[in-house]
Amino acid sequence: MVMTATAQKPKLGYKDTPIIPGTEWHVHDGDRPQPRVVTSGSSFSHQAAPPSDAIVLFDGKDLSQWQGGGGKPARWKVEGGYMEVAPKSGSIRTKQGFADFQLHLEFATPSKVEGDSQGRGNSGVLINGIYEVQVLDSFNNPTYPDGQAGALYGQVPPLVNASKEPGVWQTYDIIFESPSWDDSGKLTKKANVTVIHNGCVLHHRREFTGNTPHRTNGDYSRPHDPEMFIQLQDHSNPTRFRNVWVRSIGEYDK
């Protein structure tokens, strides 16, 4: 058999992307091991009331805490106690900024299954619009591991795949520590995140290697304020969200 120079397109993901620093894997490498599937039990609760010191970002009624890009009104659908991505209306972001916070949200990927891989139930929680914790329908939906539900997009696959069926409500609890830079613009702390999905730990104080672009490595070349907006992504799939709240981590002995 004659080998041709034509590279075969990999079944999943990419091989023509850069290596992720500190790993042997390409960005969106389809050969990276798929996270083990875990059926989450009932160790998490839906629709639990927020703690008393939480800022409620969405209580099922309106988008008053949210806006679109450029300060335009958020145009997602609100009904039945949830908000739903209105495809092509744009991502939405909180009006307020937060540093070092605990975020709770519930999401449901579309019960009508359409598309596959990155095209199925794709949304995302993007801190400051640049650090993405992926939202995807990862129930029997193979994709490149650093792009599945709960991945730090393009960087770190989740420790396990704790995804529920399409249309079923799921929880994310995300604890995020902001990056910081000194006055000269030198990075002094990377952003790190803990993610709990349906009661299962996906990441524990895992550092972002930078922002999370598609098909390339991110970095920390653009210092920003420690207070960051929280963005939910319009990736053209009608994913739903509800019971969204945030609270400051705070400090000891204060």
Range 103-124 burial, b when 16+ CB lie within 10 A, else e: bbbbbbbbeebeeebbebbbbb
Hey, which bits of the chain come out as E strands?
36-37, 55-58, 66-67, 77-79, 82-84, 92-94, 101-108, 123-127, 131-135, 160-161, 170-177, 180-181, 187-189, 192-197, 200-207, 230-232, 240-248
* CB closer to Mg ion, 101 vs 131: 131
* CB closer to Mg ion, 69 vs 81: 69
* CB closer to Mg ion, 122 vs 171: 122
Residues β-bridged to residue 82: 79
User: Closest-CB residue for Mg ion?
Assistant: 124
Least distance in angstroms from the C-beta of 186 to Mg ion: 30
Burial class, 47, CB count within 10 angstroms (exposed 0-12 / middle 13-18 / buried 19+): exposed
Least distance in angstroms from the C-beta of 85 to Mg ion: 11
Piece of 30-38, 163-171, 211-219, 228-236 that binds Mg ion (CB under 5 A): 228-236
Q: Does 124 bind Mg ion (CB under 5 A)?
A: yes
Piece of 27-35, 60-68, 109-117, 234-242 that binds Mg ion (CB under 5 A): 234-242
* CB closer to Mg ion, 65 vs 233: 233
Q: What is the CA radius of gyration of the chain?
A: 18
Least distance in angstroms from the C-beta of 133 to Mg ion: 9
Least distance in angstroms from the C-beta of 235 to Mg ion: 5
Piece of 71-79, 92-100, 162-170, 226-234 that binds Mg ion (CB under 5 A): 226-234
* CB closer to Mg ion, 148 vs 198: 148
* CB closer to Mg ion, 115 vs 226: 115
| Token couple for 233 | 């992504």
CB atoms within 10 A of CB 92: 27
Q: Does 147 bind Mg ion (CB under 5 A)?
A: no
Which residues ranging from 94 to 123 are in contact with Mg ion (CB under 5 A)? 122
Least distance in angstroms from the C-beta of 150 to Mg ion: 11
**Alpha carbon separation from 80 to 23, 132, 240 (Å, rounded):** 44, 27, 11
How many chain residues are in contact with Mg ion, going by CB under 5 A?
4
- Amino acid sitting at position 97: G
Residues near 240 by beta carbon (within 8 Å), at least 6 away in sequence: 82, 83, 84, 85, 107, 108
The residues binding Mg ion (CB under 5 A) are 122, 124, 233, 235
